[in-house]
A and B are shown apart, each in its own frame.
Chain A
Amino acid sequence: MIFADAFAWLLDPVNWSGGKSIPVRVGIHLLYCLGAVLGASLIAVPLGLYVGHTGRGGVVLVGGSNALRALPTLGLVTFLYLIAGGGTVGVLIGLIVLAVPPILAGAYAGIQDVDRGVVDAARGMGMTGSQRLWRVEVPNALPLLVGGLRNATLQVVATASVAAYVGIETLGRPLLDGLRVLDYGQFVGGAILIAVLAVVLDVVLAGVGRLVVPAGLRLSAAPAGRTRSRRTQRGRREEPVPVESGGSTA
Chain B
Amino acid sequence: MIEFRDVTKRFDDGTTAVNGLDLVVEAGTITVFVGPSGCGKTTSLRMVNRMIDPTSGTVLVDGEDVLGVDPPTLRRGIGYVIQQAGLFPHRTVLDNVATVPLLTGWTRRKARQRAAELLELVGLPAELGHRYPVQLSGGQQQRVGVARALAADPPVLLMDEPFSAVDPVVREGLQDELLRLQAELDKTIVFVTHDIDEAVRIGDKVAVMRTGGFLAQYAPPAELLTRPADDFVAGFVGKDRGYRSLSFVDSSGVEVAEVATVAEGSASESSPDWRLVVDADKRPQGWVAPDGSVVPGGSLYEVGASIRGALDAALSSPSGLGVVVDAGGHLAGVVTARQVLDVIESRRG
Is A128 positioned at the interface, with any CB of B under 8 Å from its CB?
Answer: yes
B-facing residues in A112-129 (Cβ within 8 Å): 115, 117-118, 120-128
B52–A220 touching, CB < 8 Å: no
B75–A124 touching, CB < 8 Å: yes
Residue of A nearest to B74 (CB): A126
A250–B71 touching, CB < 8 Å: yes
Residue of B nearest to A220 (CB): B134
Min CB gap A23→B, angstroms: 41
A118–B76 touching, CB < 8 Å: no
B51–A216 touching, CB < 8 Å: no
B89–A115 touching, CB < 8 Å: yes
Q: How far is the CA of A48 from the CA of B50 in the complex (A)?
A: 27
Pick the interface stretch among B77-85, B251-259, B286-294, B325-333: B77-85
Interface size class of A (residues with CB under 8 A): 20 to 34
Q: How far is the CA of A124 from the CA of B50 in the complex (A)?
A: 9
A117–B103 touching, CB < 8 Å: no
Chain B residues within 8 Å of A247, by CB: 11-13, 52
B89–A125 touching, CB < 8 Å: no
B82–A124 touching, CB < 8 Å: yes
Residue among B50, B52, B88 with the highest chain A CB neighbour number at 10 A: B88
Min CB gap B94→A, angstroms: 12
B103–A126 touching, CB < 8 Å: yes
Chain B residues within 8 Å of A248, by CB: 46, 51-53
Q: How far is the CA of A24 from the CA of B241 in the complex (A)?
A: 85
Chain B residues within 8 Å of A120, by CB: 51, 82, 86
Q: How far is the CA of A126 from the CA of B49 in the complex (A)?
A: 9
Min CB gap B146→A, angstroms: 12
A219–B132 touching, CB < 8 Å: yes
Interface of A is mostly: helix
Interface size class of B (residues with CB under 8 A): 35 or more
Chain B residues within 8 Å of A117, by CB: 82-86
Is B239 positioned at the interface, with any CB of A under 8 Å from its CB?
Answer: no
Residue of B nearest to A247 (CB): B11
B91–A216 touching, CB < 8 Å: yes
Is B135 positioned at the interface, with any CB of A under 8 Å from its CB?
Answer: yes
Q: How far is the CA of A249 from the CA of B158 in the complex (A)?
A: 18
B86–A126 touching, CB < 8 Å: no
Q: How far is the CA of A125 from the CA of B46 in the complex (A)?
A: 12
B72–A126 touching, CB < 8 Å: yes
Query: B133 touches which one: A126, A216, A250 (CB < 8 A)?
Result: A216
Chain B residues within 8 Å of A121, by CB: 80, 82, 85-88
Residue of A nearest to B158 (CB): A124
A-facing residues in B23-50 (Cβ within 8 Å): 46, 49-50
A140–B89 touching, CB < 8 Å: yes
Q: How far is the CA of A126 from the CA of B86 in the complex (A)?
A: 14
B-facing residues in A100-143 (Cβ within 8 Å): 115, 117-118, 120-128, 131, 136, 139-140
A127–B80 touching, CB < 8 Å: no
- Given known contacts A216-B92, A216-B133, A247-B12, A126 and B76 CB-to-CB distance under 8 angstroms: yes
Q: How far is the CA of A217 from the CA of B51 in the complex (A)?
A: 27
Q: How far is the CA of A123 from the CA of B82 in the complex (A)?
A: 12
Is B205 positioned at the interface, with any CB of A under 8 Å from its CB?
Answer: no
Q: How far is the CA of A127 from the CA of B133 in the complex (A)?
A: 20
A115–B72 touching, CB < 8 Å: no
A123–B103 touching, CB < 8 Å: no
Is A215 positioned at the interface, with any CB of B under 8 Å from its CB?
Answer: yes
Is B99 positioned at the interface, with any CB of A under 8 Å from its CB?
Answer: yes
Query: A216 touches which one: B52, B73, B89, B103 (CB < 8 A)?
Result: B89
A249–B100 touching, CB < 8 Å: no
B75–A249 touching, CB < 8 Å: no
- Given known contacts A117-B86, A139-B90, A126 and B134 CB-to-CB distance under 8 angstroms: no
Interface string of A128-169 (1 = CB under 8 A from B): 100100001001100000000000000000000000000000
Min CB gap A220→B, angstroms: 4
Residue among A120, A128, A139 with the highest chain B CB neighbour number at 10 A: A120
Query: B49 touches which one: A124, A140, A250 (CB < 8 A)?
Result: A124
Q: How far is the CA of A11 from the CA of B20 in the complex (A)?
A: 83
A217–B52 touching, CB < 8 Å: no
Query: A125 touches which one: B50, B99, B132, B135 (CB < 8 A)?
Result: B99
B72–A140 touching, CB < 8 Å: no
Chain B residues within 8 Å of A136, by CB: 88, 90
- Given known contacts A121-B80, A131-B103, A215 and B75 CB-to-CB distance under 8 angstroms: no
Min CB gap A131→B, angstroms: 7
Query: A123 touches which one: B51, B77, B89, B133 (CB < 8 A)?
Result: B51
Is B210 positioned at the interface, with any CB of A under 8 Å from its CB?
Answer: no
Min CB gap B144→A, angstroms: 11
**Residues of chain A whose beta carbon lies under 8 Å from any beta carbon of chain B:** 115, 117-118, 120-128, 131, 136, 139-140, 214-217, 219-220, 247-250
Nearest 4 Cβ contacts at the A-B interface = A121-B86, A216-B132, A126-B76, A126-B75
Please list 18 pairs of residues, one from A and one from B, whose beta carbons are closer than 8 Å in the complex, sorted by A's number.
A117-B82, A123-B75, A124-B49, A124-B80, A124-B82, A125-B75, A126-B73, A126-B100, A126-B103, A127-B103, A131-B103, A136-B88, A214-B89, A216-B89, A216-B91, A216-B134, A247-B12, A248-B52
**Given A117-B83, A121-B80: 19 more A-B contacts, CB < 8 Å:** A115-B86, A117-B84, A118-B89, A121-B85, A124-B49, A124-B82, A125-B100, A125-B103, A126-B71, A126-B74, A126-B75, A127-B103, A131-B103, A140-B90, A214-B89, A216-B133, A216-B134, A220-B132, A248-B53
